[in-house]
Amino acid sequence: MHGYFLSFRLYDTARIIANPFAYEEQPEKLVLKEPESRTFREGVRGPCHYDRRGVAGVLEERDQRDAVEDEMNTVRDKLAALLIELQKREDEIDRKSQEIETLGGGEHQRIVMVVEEEWRGEVEEAWTQILGDRETESKDLREHINDLKAASNDLHAKFESL
């Protein structure tokens, strides 16, 4: 409201309408402002805090902040470009998937079924081969066990006859 003279009563009414909880917040503001007012009352006796960096320090800090903001903007631009590229690729994949479904959806299913049947046949052949190998191994092991039992019985009989 710069440049306008306004009645304090009218200003206060407008402020209350804009923020109806202002009176409830007033004690909190007073508590927060109290340390500032205390240092103001202390005057010269209290500690003074000046910006010792001067204008050069402030300008240097501002330049650093601008450099960081420029870097952030560059990174944001790169991110936006990558997101756009990603979206284009996803759209292309969706479009190609739809083409595949419309052109050869039935053909694709048929190919999948043929490959699956071949795979199942190969698995069954491998399974029967494995079972046959295991059966042969178990027969050999049974014969070996029987031979060991016979040898053990012979040794036991010899030991008993001594």
Contact 69, 77 (CB under 8 A): no
What percent of the chain clears pLDDT 70, i.e. is strictly above it?
73
pTM reported for the whole predicted model: 0.32
Least trusted range by pLDDT, from 2-11, 32-41, 82-91: 32-41
**What pLDDT band is residue 147 in, cutting at 50, 70 and 90?**
very high
Q: How far apart (Å, rounded) are the C-alpha atoms in residues 57 and 60?
A: 5
What percent of the chain clears pLDDT 90, i.e. is strictly above it?
20
Q: How far apart (Å, rounded) are the C-alpha atoms in residues 121 and 47?
A: 91
Least trusted range by pLDDT, from 18-32, 55-69, 80-94: 18-32
Contact 16, 22 (CB under 8 A): yes
| Residue entry with tokens 């292309």 | 92
Q: How far apart (Å, rounded) are the C-alpha atoms in residues 110 and 116?
A: 10
Q: How far apart (Å, rounded) are the C-alpha atoms in residues 87 and 10?
A: 55
Flag whether pLDDT at 51 surpasses 90: no
Flag whether pLDDT at 43 surpasses 90: no
